[in-house]
């Protein structure tokens, strides 16, 4: 099986309502969908959803890197040679993990289709009985967040992820308001998204919400401050999760050596796809760390990829693959039954791409073929 063409679709996925986190407000999600065709007639789909604040890649740069730098070099490659494909991509360009993830996901979709297996069977099989998703709540006024949480409970959600990281006193009120709204036993995870600038600011918030019994605090320091995470971990019993500060093996090595965190948030866009993600999962398992698979608010393509990984690895104990629930239009359909999401056992990603919908959201298109 050889790759004969790679099509790129620069899409903007419309959000039902704006998504507000400490460093940005999104009204829609720019993403790059890739369609990889092989000489056997099989077609695989991948997706790269860039977050310039996290990996330094933009919508435009991801499209350009795929069209000019990575894509042409992969024509003629066998998608099964995923280790070599990553080696080649890493030799061609440093970083650019979102662009690499798009190719990686399409290769796994093709491997699954070629072997007639869902991707999770290529990664370890069904390690979990079911996959549950949390309700993710944007940064808003405390009472608005509390009302959203109550409404979500009535819709069937069993856990929450709160976005905070603006004014520290307001953040305390946000966490308290949601805890009061949902009762004492519903799991609440809190993500500061680097919004607190010093470890003392983080500790101030954490000490004032200790009775709220949050599951963990995610990225309570700026991304580069791994020592700050370690300091917070040593000062509180609230488990600490790294997200923006962890991309690939370099940071993974550092957090393990320093014993800086309790949990890691893996995103395919930060590490370069499923293949490098499995390396992170195995290192985490070795070091006794628990994993989550998060997302950049991706369409059903990259979300499905993350779900296959989540299902296959026992060390991955949570996921936040809720992008498809936030879009008013998508390129495929994933089977959410709140609070669960069910993966199909069809080959590859196990999703049906709606080409019409894909085209209707496409702002830029390019096809790479052998010259
Ligand atoms: Mg996060």
Of residues 258, 212, 263, 211, the one with CA closest to residue 231: 258
What pLDDT does residue 24 have?
A: 87
Annotated catalytic residue: which of 37, 77, 215, 218?
A: 218
Is a pLDDT exceeding 90 seen at residue 358?
yes
| The pLDDT of residue 154 is above 90 | yes
- Quote the pLDDT of residue 257: 98
pLDDT exceeds cutoff 90 at 23? no
Burial (0-12, 13-18, 19+ Cβ within 10 Å), 260: buried
Q: Say what the pLDDT of residue 371 is.
A: 79
Q: And the tokens for 114?
A: 């070629």
Catalytic residue, chosen from 135, 267, 270, 313, is 267
pLDDT of residue 86: 98
Percent of the chain with pLDDT over 70: 100
Query: How many whole angstroms from its chain centre is CA 191?
Result: 14
User: What pLDDT is attached to residue 321?
Assistant: 97
371/144: higher pLDDT: 144
Task: Quote the mean pLDDT of the chain.
Answer: 97
Span 362-366, average pLDDT:
98
Q: Considering the entire predicted model, what is its pTM?
A: 0.97
Instruction: Give the residue among 245, 197, 237 at the shortest CA–CA distance from 218.
Output: 245
Q: Render pLDDT for 240-296 as a digit per residue (tens, 0 to 9).
A: 999 999 999 999 999 999 999 999 999 999 999 999 999 999 999 999 999 999 999
Spatial CA neighbour of 107 closest among 130, 88, 127, 133: 88
Separation of CA 71 and ligand 1 centre (Å): 29
- Region 295-308: mean pLDDT is 98
Cα of 276 from ligand 1 centre, angstroms? 19
Over range 67-90, report the average pLDDT.
98
* Residue 163 a catalytic site member: yes
Question: pLDDT by residue (tens digit) across 89-148?
Answer: 999 999 999 999 999 999 999 999 999 999 999 999 999 999 999 999 999 999 999 999
Annotated catalytic residue within 215, 243, 244, 320 = 243
Residue 243: active-site member: yes
């Amino acid at each position: 099986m050889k790759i004969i063409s790679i099509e790129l679709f620069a899409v903007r996925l419309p959000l039902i309502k704006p998504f507000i986190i400490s460093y940005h407000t999104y009204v829609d999600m720019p993403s790059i969908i890739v369609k990889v065709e092989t000489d056997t007639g099989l077609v695989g789909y991948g997706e790269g959803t860039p977050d310039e604040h996290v990996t330094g890649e933009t919508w435009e740069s991801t499209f350009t890197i795929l069209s000019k730098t990575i894509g042409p070099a992969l024509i003629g490659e066998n998608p099964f040679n995923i280790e070599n494909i990553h080696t080649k991509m890493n030799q061609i360009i440093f970083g650019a993990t979102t662009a690499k993830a798009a190719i990686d996901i399409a290769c796994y979709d093709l491997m699954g289709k070629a072997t007639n297996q869902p991707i999770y069977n290529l990664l370890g099989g069904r390690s979990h009985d079911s996959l549950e998703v949390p309700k993710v709540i944007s940064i808003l006024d405390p009472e608005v967040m509390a009302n959203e949480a109550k409404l979500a409970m009535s819709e069937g959600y069993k856990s929450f992820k709160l976005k905070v990281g603006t004014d520290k006193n307001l953040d305390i009120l946000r966490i308290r308001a949601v805890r009061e709204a949902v009762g004492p036993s519903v799991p609440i995870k809190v993500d500061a998204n680097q919004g607190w600038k010093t470890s003392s600011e983080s500790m101030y918030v954490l000490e004032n919400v200790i009775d709220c019994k949050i599951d963990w605090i995610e990225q309570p320091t700026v991304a580069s401050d791994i020592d700050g995470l370690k300091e917070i971990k040593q000062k509180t019993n609230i488990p600490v999760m790294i997200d923006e500060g962890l991309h690939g093996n370099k940071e993974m090595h550092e957090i393990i050596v320093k014993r800086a965190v309790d949990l890691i948030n893996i995103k395919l866009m930060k590490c370069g796809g499923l293949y490098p993600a499995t390396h992170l999962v195995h290192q985490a398992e070795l070091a006794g760390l628990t994993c989550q698979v998060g997302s950049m608010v991706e369409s059903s393509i990259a979300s499905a990829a993350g779900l296959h990984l989540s299902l296959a690895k026992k060390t991955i104990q949570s996921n936040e693959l809720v992008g498809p629930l936030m879009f008013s239009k998508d390129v495929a359909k994933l089977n959410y039954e709140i609070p669960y999401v069910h993966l199909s056992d069809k080959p590859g990603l196990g999703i049906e791409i709606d080409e019409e919908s894909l085209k209707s959201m496409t702002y830029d298109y390019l096809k790479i073929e052998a010259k």
